[in-house]
């Protein structure tokens, strides 16, 4: 099974024969390329076009983060799996306002269902649970009256305004509002970092299919952005990121010592990011029993399956149904 490789220290990454060589502080480490799905860098890494060509040939994505965890961008291989037919249909779906609205609603409805499921699993720990859930359900019902993508996102924003304070209460954190750049407060910081990890993982899964990651439906396609990753990730944020955050904070795996708090920002330390990444990888390999496939599947597999569900919907009259947590 291929792994996702993370580099936190500075150094030089290069091709050596048919493998990778990492050199730092006078030490050398060989990394078998055949065992790698993606590489994420968080330090100052020197590399060259010879390496990038090698990564492209081996279909290994390179994701670049700043030293404090900001996602900077990705180098992705030239797509090996391409389909002119799917690309045309994907664009036609985007250009059809009815189909685009339908998909946008489904991404967000799936996300809302999964956020509710996360809270339901901890209902005994939420004061005034019934009233709070009723408010969220009422907001969710407004989704069916939306007339365009902007109104879908407005309803989603209203839902999250109710949801995040409840999530904060379950993790013992204070939460006033969602602040992204830079994040302020422990919960904002962990949401932002987790979402970035999820975006890059989703991008890697999209590249295993014939989908074009730049043509999206909920989020507006634009220059230099793999916006389809954002669409699909909406469904999985509560399933993966929010549940992982609850585990990391409630089990004190990550504590206040793992953050650098400045006047206008809260950032994970290098050690904090390492802990987060380690448990993110473990979480992604955990399995649940899939009632349709009749077998256990990992969260990595669920992400890939979601891509194929979207392809089926684009190429046929079959409605896309976003993942709804059943466990």
Residues 6+ apart with CB under 8 A from 22: 7, 11, 12, 13, 28, 29, 30, 31
Cis peptide before 50 (omega within 30 of 0): no
Nearest to 74 by CA among 195, 194, 188, 197: 197
Helices within 17-148 (DSSP H only): 49-57, 84-95, 97-120, 129-141
Nearest to 260 by CA among 252, 246, 250, 270: 270
Q: What φ, ψ does residue 78 adopt, rounded to 5°?
A: -60, 130
Residues 6+ apart with CB under 8 A from 322: 106, 107, 109, 110, 111, 113, 235, 306
Count the Cβ atoms, other than its own, within 10 Å of residue 170.
Answer: 18
Per the DSSP assignment, residues forming a β-bridge with 147 are none
| 63 annotated among ligand-binding-site residues | no
Cβ(57)–Cβ(51) under 8 Å?
no
The edge-to-edge listing of strands for the beta sheet with 36-41 is 3-7, 36-41, 61-65, 71-75
Torsion angle (degrees, nearest 10) of CA 267, 273, 277, 278? -140
| 219 annotated among ligand-binding-site residues | yes
Nearest to 100 by CA among 146, 49, 168: 146
Max distance between CA atoms of the chain, in angstroms, equals 63
Binding residues: 156, 219, 234
Binding residues for Mn(2+): 156, 219, 234
């Amino acid at each position: 099974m291929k792994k996702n490789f993370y580099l936190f220290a500075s150094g030089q990454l290069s091709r050596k024969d048919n493998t990778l060589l990492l050199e730092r502080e006078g030490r050398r480490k060989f990394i078998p390329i055949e065992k790698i799905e993606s590489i994420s860098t968080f330090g100052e890494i020197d590399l060259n076009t010879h390496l990038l060509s090698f990564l492209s040939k081996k279909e290994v994505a390179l994701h670049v983060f700043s030293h404090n965890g900001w996602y900077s961008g990705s180098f992705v291989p030239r797509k090996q799996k391409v389909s002119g037919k799917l690309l045309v249909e994907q664009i036609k779906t985007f250009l059809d306002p009815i189909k685009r609205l339908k998909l946008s609603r489904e991404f967000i409805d799936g996300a809302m269902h999964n956020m509710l499921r996360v809270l339901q699993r901890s209902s005994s720990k939420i004061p005034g649970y019934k009233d709070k859930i009723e408010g969220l359900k009422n907001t969710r019902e407004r989704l069916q009256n939306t007339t365009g993508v902007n109104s879908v996102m407005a309803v989603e924003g209203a839902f999250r305004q109710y949801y995040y304070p409840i999530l904060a209460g379950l993790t013992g954190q204070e939460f006033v509002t969602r602040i992204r750049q830079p994040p302020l407060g422990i919960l904002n910081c962990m949401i932002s970092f987790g979402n970035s990890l999820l975006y890059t993982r989703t991008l890697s899964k999209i590249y295993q299919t014939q989908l074009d990651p730049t043509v999206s439906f909920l989020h507006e396609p634009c220059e230099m952005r793999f916006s389809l990753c954002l669409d699909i990730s909406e469904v999985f944020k509560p399933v993966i990121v929010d549940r992982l955050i609850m585990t990391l904070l409630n089990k004190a795996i990550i504590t206040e010592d793992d953050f650098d708090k400045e006047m206008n920002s809260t950032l994970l330390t290098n050690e904090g990011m390492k802990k987060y990444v380690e448990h993110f990888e473990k979480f992604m390999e955990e399995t649940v029993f899939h009632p349709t496939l009749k077998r256990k599947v990992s969260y990595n597999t669920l992400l890939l399956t979601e891509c194929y569900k979207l392809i089926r919907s684009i190429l046929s009259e079959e409605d896309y149904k976003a993942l709804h947590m059943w466990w």
